[in-house]
Structures are given as C-alpha cells and as structure tokens.
Structure 1
Amino acid sequence: MGFPDRIERTVELAHPPEVVWRALTTAEGLGTWFGDESARIELRPGGTARLTWSHGHAVDMVVERVAEPRVFAFSWPASDGENPVHTHVEFTLEPTGSGTRLTMIETGFAQLPGQEAYESHTEGWTRELGELVDYLNAA
C-alpha cells in the first residue's frame, strides 16, 4: 500500500457538543453543511441515511454507531461499481472549556486498488469540515 488507510481531522468548535451533535445527526444539519440539497437519516445503528447535492450526486450511508452526544459513525461507498468498497467514518465529540473538539476519522482505504478515493476524501474532508464550521457559526 502506497498511501495511508485513514484520514484524521480535528476541529475546535465554539459550540457545545449538543449543538454540534444536531449538525452531524439531523437531516436539517447534514443537508445544509454536508449535502447541499437534502438529507435524510434514521439515527440508529443499522439505520440508513442519504445525502444529495444540487449537481445530481447522491450517496447512501449506513449508520454504524450512535452514542449521543459523543460518537456518531457511518459507512459509505468509497468506490463506484457493482461491488463498491465502503469506508467507515466516525465523529467523536469532546467538550472543552470553550466548546467542542470534533475528531473525524475515516478508515478503510487500504482495501481500495488505488489512491484516488483517499486523495478525494482527504481534500473533501477539509472542505466539508470548513462548511460545518461555517454552518455552526451562522446559526
């Protein structure tokens, strides 16, 4: 393997964990900062979620872990085709004196044949977490 198996990002947010949790786990929150058209989510292990974007892209996810308001995890396809490979995304929220430390870890890239998805997701998480910050600060 010529590239890492995981992407990890930590963001300091000036909002309490409960507010960040809602942004991560509700259709309203996800559909605003993550997708830009709509979202739906069944917030329970084994539940499904779907994000859509105005340019026509959509992604289906499976909720893997829900430990309110500390841990939210899902799996989603990192490759297209008849048998897509899925990666695991986990958000961990830790209260701080000034808000919340959010850590996002995505794993599972080692099972992919190339590094395109890893590079795309690395760039994507930088952009998406920036949009989460903007969404929370605008609220």
Structure 2
Amino acid sequence: MTADELTTVDGRPALRMERRLAHPVEQVWRALTEPERLNRWYPFPVASLDLRVGGAIRFDDGEGTTMDGVVVELDPPHRFAFSEHAPEEMGREGDDIARFELEPDGDGCLLVFTHVFDDRPGAASYAVGWDTCLGALRAVADGREPEWAAPPPSALEEAVDRFGLGAGRIEEASGEAVLTVERQLARPADEVWSMLAGQGAVEPGARVPEGFRAVGVEAGPVTEVKHPALLEYAWTDGGARAGRVRWELSPGTGHGARLEVVQTAEAADRGRLAEALPAWEARVREVGRRAAGLEP
C-alpha cells in the first residue's frame, strides 16, 4: 500500500507518506534507528546518533557537507522523529523534521512517514526522493541490499501535478501587484536556458525569444540578462510599458533547476494579472514537461 499527500503541520508544508511493510514493528524499528541499517537507505549518512529525546544526530556525507540534528520524539518501537539543521549553502530556511510512525497491521506493519519543511515548491522532488528511499528501507527490512535505480524525470512532473504545485499566485508588494508561478524542473539551468532561448545569444534590447513568452502578454525588449539564470523584459499595453516579466532559474531540490516566473503591474491593474495567470501556469507547465521529456 502507498499513499502520499501534501498537507501542513504547524503552518508548514509537510509530506505524509504511508507504506505497508511485510515485517513486524520491531524489525522495521531496527532499520529506522540502528545507524548501520539506517545508513543503507537514508539519503544523508548518519555519523552518530544519540537515541534519546534531545539526543544529537550528526550527518556527514564524507565529502565535506555535514548537518546537525536533534531527536525530538521517541517512543520505541512506534515513533521516532528528529530535526535536521542544514548548512546555509543548502538554502533551507528552517529546520526540517522527519517523523516515522509504526503501527502493527496484520502480519506486518504500517509506516507513516512525515517530512516537514519550508520549501513548498520542492515538495515534488522530496516526494520522488523519499519514495526511492522508502523502497530502499523495505529492502533493508527484507535483509536485502537496496537497488538504487534513478526515478524517471516524468515522476517529478507527475508529483507536481498530483500535489497542485503548478498553481500560481498574485500578491501585493511595495505598491505593485505581483504574479508568481514556480516549478521545480528535471533538468539543470543551462539545459533549460538553451531550451527556452534557442541557439542565438540573448542581449539587452533584443527581442524576447518565444520560449520566454506567454500567450496574451505583450513583450517589450529584453532589459536584463544573466545567462543561464535570469531574463527580464518589459511587458506592454498598447505599446506603453505596463510592468515587467522576470524569469529566474536557480538551484533547486533534486538535480534540476527551480524556475520562477514573475509578472508585475500597478496595484490597480491586478485584474490584468489575474487574466494572465492561466497563461503563465500553462506556459510554466509546458516548460516542466519539456524538461522532463514529456513534450517535444
């Protein structure tokens, strides 16, 4: 049995994933809490673990990246939760929480895994990654060596759609109305840039390549370019500048880039952004599907 949902815990995004395992609670508990077993399936190697509430956890990938954690819940053999404080270069804002809950279920058990975090657009890649890890946990509980097959890029796009992560938003900031659509992509920034910009170089003052446009939004000239991370241009209404459109590609979760598209307008023109929002959602979804190889 598998069941995944994106919910909230204490106002923060949270993935909740259920898996039925064909082993008693005690056997799975050992795979969750004994470092030599935990390190065979958990995505970040555990260097040390003090298994008590308030006990420290040290994560170390052996390549220079370390994280500190703290055990925040412990009820053997049913509940184990800990925080992860990521280093600044990983780009996380707050401590993530990982919680594992086990309940007997017939001749096996039900595992409920919850990951609490702040980066909601990253939920799709978290879900794909955790599905792989929980599959490896099943193998460890079985007494087998996990097989780490890379998930197909399409899995990311399926998760984005399943969790409704393609929806944009319109807010007000500094007297402007601001439309934003974000999406985690399956390819790195340089590959996505080439896909959007085509073969020619893009320079300030040039015509905006079709890849960076949306239906119904009149594009003025390019105003700023930082290959392969940023392209900004004016959008116009009847030839007059009405605001700006900004495409940004930054490091995301997983192996691909994070795409953020922003369109701004005067606060009084919020309705124009509302009209444009479906087109931007469709455009960004098309970029995601092309990056995943689902569309030409």
TM range (shorter): 0.7 to 0.9
Does structure 1 retain, via aligned residues, the 8 Å contact 2:67–2:87? no
Q: Matched residues in 1 for 2:127 and 2:65: separation?
A: 18
1:125 aligns with 2:133: no
Does structure 1 retain, via aligned residues, the 8 Å contact 2:35–2:48? yes
Q: Matched residues in 1 for 2:125 and 2:85: separation?
A: 13
Does structure 1 retain, via aligned residues, the 8 Å contact 2:66–2:87? no
Structure 1 pair 71–130 and aligned structure 2 pair: CA distance change class (3 A):
same
1:62 aligns with 2:70: yes
Partner of 1:136: 141
Q: Give the C-alpha shift of residue 105 in structure 1.
A: 0.9
Partner of 2:238: none
Q: Matched residues in 2 for 1:78 and 1:56: separation?
A: 13
Cα offsets for 1:76-131 (capped at 9, x unmatched): 1367349841122211100111211000011232xx4x623x33322221111011
Partner of 1:71: 79
Larger Rg: 2
Structure 1 pair 45–57 and aligned structure 2 pair: CA distance change class (3 A):
same
Quote the sequence identity (%): 32
Gaps of 5+ in 1: none
Question: How many residues are paired up?
Answer: 133
Gaps of 5+ in 2: 1-5, 8-12, 145-296
Larger RCO: Structure 1 or Structure 2 (Cα < 8 Å, ≥ 6 residues apart)?
1
Partner of 2:243: none
Does structure 2 retain, via aligned residues, the 8 Å contact 1:30–1:51? no
